[in-house]
Structure 1
Amino acid sequence: MSTQADSKAQTVWRRRVFYIPGYDPIHPRRYRELYRKEGAAQAAISGYEIALSPKTTKGPYGWHVSATMGGQKVQTDVEALVWSDIVRDSMSHTIPATYGALLRTAWAYIGTGALWRLMRLRKGPVIAALYPVLMLLVQALLALGAGFGLWRGVTALAACCAPSVAGAAPYLGLVLGLGVAWGLLHWFKKQDSKFFAYYLMHDYAYSARHRGGNPPELEARMAAFGEQIAEALTQAFDEVLVVGHSSGAHLGVSILADLIRAGRVPAQGPELSFLSLGQVVPMVSFLPKAWRLRADLAFLSQREELAWVDVTAPGDGCAFALCDPVKVSGVGCEGQRWPLVISAAFTQSLSAARWKELRWRFFRLHFQYLCAFDRPKDYDYFQITAGPLTLGARYDGRGASRSRIETAVNKFRSVVP
């Protein structure tokens, strides 16, 4: 099978990729192994060669990729920009703290009216946001129900079979009931690798805690990421590609906006490219204090210093599929150039059998952008990150998806406090 590189002149021989993950507490080796496994699968399907080896650049975590596509050889260094330690620290370790976060997060989205406006865009990610709230409430009700049932049972049993201790039975039943309720809540928490209720609750709570603003520790980490990208832009690469997945997409927007404002993107340096995947930008930009993000979206959308392509898919129920993150946030303008909004079209780029296998695995589908497609169209993560074309060259002349959503439904559109 031929690749797109067959019909276009090579523009990349050396590339630097910076991958910004979403809200994920897992060690970044997961992304290297995912790249290794899925890259090999896509290479076998699409008829090119791709191989991983240890990293050759500075940075805390990354890998090197050697690829041959359409007879064109490319060397790529990938760096995962790690903030999983911040994620882990932000995840409340106690049950009461998690339920407290539930109440604050619900108020942040419902009290401001953001939830109802988000539902006008895509119901999938809103349902995903409501899921942990409902699941945690169900768990609490089941625990309380079990505890109440035990209390009533002990009281009734004592009244029937041991009248002499019937007066103390309610107190004993209360202690036992509370113990059972607490034990059941702990059991649910230990089973969260199956339910994902605590994990998702912490995810949404992290953005809602500051009503759309970035916590200081995240701002400091973003500045450090910017330094790494700025250094790469001074080196002998043909392209510096920033990939932001899920929550990492809006981090990428702000990091790149800061670099351009500071004049740190050299005119004669590598091509600067930004690929946002499975973005959930409205979950943050629709909150009242997301002034920085809205300003960065407006700024980045007009710049000539980069090419920005936004890829989502209606089959991904966790993303705001085909929603132009700039326009729906209410900060689009006449001079908007970016992003180019396109669909990964899961139902077309995956075979019927593969789609049937994955369609109800919502979290797995949210990572499909980083994986192999058995019927690939013009989106191929491995050709983008390891192939012989810059992002801009690859999608030059490609129109935006006709079914994209551009309606400005955000209530909060100011870019300054």
Structure 2
Amino acid sequence: MSAEQAQTDQAEQQVRHRRVFYIPGYDPIHPRRYRELYRKEGAEQARISGYTLSLSPAPRGRNYGWHVESTINGQSTQADIEVLVWSDIVRDSMDTSIPATYAQLIRTASEYIGSGALFRLMKLRKGPVIAALYPIGMLLLQLLLALLLAWSVLALANLLPPLGGVTPALGALIGVALAILLLRWFKKQDGKVFAYYLMHDYAYSAQHKGANPPELETRIAQFTDTIAEALQTDTDEVLIVGHSSGAHLAVSILADLIRQGRVPQGGPELAFLSLGQVVPMVSFLRNAFRLRADLAYLSAREALTWVDVTAPGDGCAFALCDPVGVSGVAPPDKRWPLVFSAQFTKSLSPARWKELRWRFFRLHFQYLCAFDAPLDYDYFQITAGPVPLATRYANRPPSASRIEHPVSKFTSQTP
């Protein structure tokens, strides 16, 4: 029996109905992907841990979602899960030409390197920094191969006698055309190598040096309204889950929600679960005033519970880096987040860990998946079980190896 199940046995059921709002990271895919992931992995976790979990369609609404019913240790709970979609914004930001992507590469590298942010990020975790450098290296390699192809065709045209009217000038044109075709072919293969995808991801945050683009601010306001409405309903807990880049969106949404006085006294419990966060990739940039202010504000609020879960095995996240502390904005009365590890190497069996260890993008989503040797982290019990986040981790100590000391060069919260 897991620690969470033992806790459930000892406590009176506190959650019979929960509203969950999932905020994905920088992802252009339709939100049905997350429903299918939840369905598949939830069934597997239920089988492993000995409880029941079932999904059904949610009533048609503004957001894509699904309904979940669970029975854990004899206690039945219902949850309505909605995805707060910004994939359309992501798709628009990715709709660029090959030359525009290389221009993004130059601007993004200049911002992270020129500001010193990249070198400070390397003091935290090497994994996400390598992930940030990977698209730069891969795109430059692709460009180099295309240029070598063009040069080879031109050199061949210069060395050989004209054949079939192929003069050096025509050879140069053919070489350039083949180079362009090769670059286009590389782009079509990006579903396997993710160079363009990751480049667009980092470029989106860097384009305004850490400030939110106008379209994202508009969407944040809409998400804030949606959650405020849920807090007025007859539910026991409103849980916000921010994964990857979605974590820093959730920080700003929740900060706005509380600042605006939209968390009712005596209403549902408000909880925030950040998973695999990459907050420093944004908060360390020079113009991330809004995010740094929101981090500082949210970290001292009594109106919510904030738990931050990462794992050193996830090379795409800033594992065990307190996003408030490392950003240099921790106030004297800081309460949150509670930072601890999902412990991939212990909560996955040796065989399963061996299978997933080098699948970096898959591991970045492991927080949303089943563990075959679960410890005290179970995404499905958190989102659909009878225990609220505050109670579940009330006595959970933070990981001793967490990083809290300030690292960012830029700590100002106002322009």
With the length of structure 1 as denominator, give the TM-score of the two structures. 0.97
Mapping for residues 263-302 of structure 1, pairs under 5 Å: 263-302=261-300
2:40 to 26, 31, 37: 37
Distance in 1 between residues matched to 2:334 and 2:356, nearest whole Å: 36
Distance in 1 between residues matched to 2:49 and 2:362, nearest whole Å: 22
1:126 matched to 2:124: no
Q: Is the 8 A contact 1:56 1:77 kept in 2?
A: no
Q: Which residue matches 1:142? A: 145
Distance in 2 between residues matched to 1:51 and 1:412, nearest whole Å: 46
Deviations 1:238-294 (A, max 9, x none): 000000000000000000000000000001100000000000000000000000000
Helix, strand or coil for the counterpart of 1:77? strand
2:312 to 311, 314, 328: 314
1:117 to 99, 117, 120: 120
Deviations 1:113-144 (A, max 9, x none): 00000000001000000000000000000010
> Aligned-residue CA RMSD in angstroms?
1.1
Runs of 4+ in 1 over 3 A off after TM superposition: none
Q: Is the 8 A contact 1:92 1:202 kept in 2?
A: no
- How many Å apart are 1:57 and its aligned residue? 6.8
Q: Which residue matches 1:254? A: 252
1:360 to 358, 361, 368: 358
Mapping for residues 11-410 of structure 1, pairs under 5 Å: 11-56=14-59, 58-158=61-161, 169-410=167-408
Distance in 2 between residues matched to 1:216 and 1:390, nearest whole Å: 34
Q: Which amino acid aligns with 1:27?
A: H
- How many Å apart are 1:6 and its aligned residue? 1.9
Helix, strand or coil for the counterpart of 1:276? strand
- How many Å apart are 1:7 and its aligned residue? 2.8
Distance in 1 between residues matched to 2:310 and 2:192, nearest whole Å: 25
Distance in 2 between residues matched to 1:334 and 1:140, nearest whole Å: 50
Q: Is the 8 A contact 1:59 1:79 kept in 2?
A: no
Distance in 1 between residues matched to 2:12 and 2:206, nearest whole Å: 46
- How many Å apart are 1:152 and its aligned residue? 0.4
Q: Which amino acid aligns with 1:303?
A: R
Q: Which amino acid aligns with 2:156?
A: G
Q: Which amino acid aligns with 1:158?
A: P
Deviations 1:23-77 (A, max 9, x none): 0000000000000000000000000000000114733210000000111100100
Count of matched residue pairs: 412
Q: Is the 8 A contact 1:348 1:375 kept in 2?
A: yes
Q: Percent identity?
A: 69
Q: Is the 8 A contact 1:140 1:185 kept in 2?
A: yes
Helix, strand or coil for the counterpart of 1:337? coil
Q: Which amino acid aligns with 2:75?
A: Q
Distance in 2 between residues matched to 1:105 and 1:364, nearest whole Å: 25
Q: Is the 8 A contact 1:121 1:323 kept in 2?
A: yes
- How many Å apart are 1:11 and its aligned residue? 1.1
- How many Å apart are 1:8 and its aligned residue? 2.7
Deviations 1:174-215 (A, max 9, x none): 001001110100010000011100000000000000000000
Helix, strand or coil for the counterpart of 1:158? coil
Distance in 2 between residues matched to 1:70 and 1:319, nearest whole Å: 33
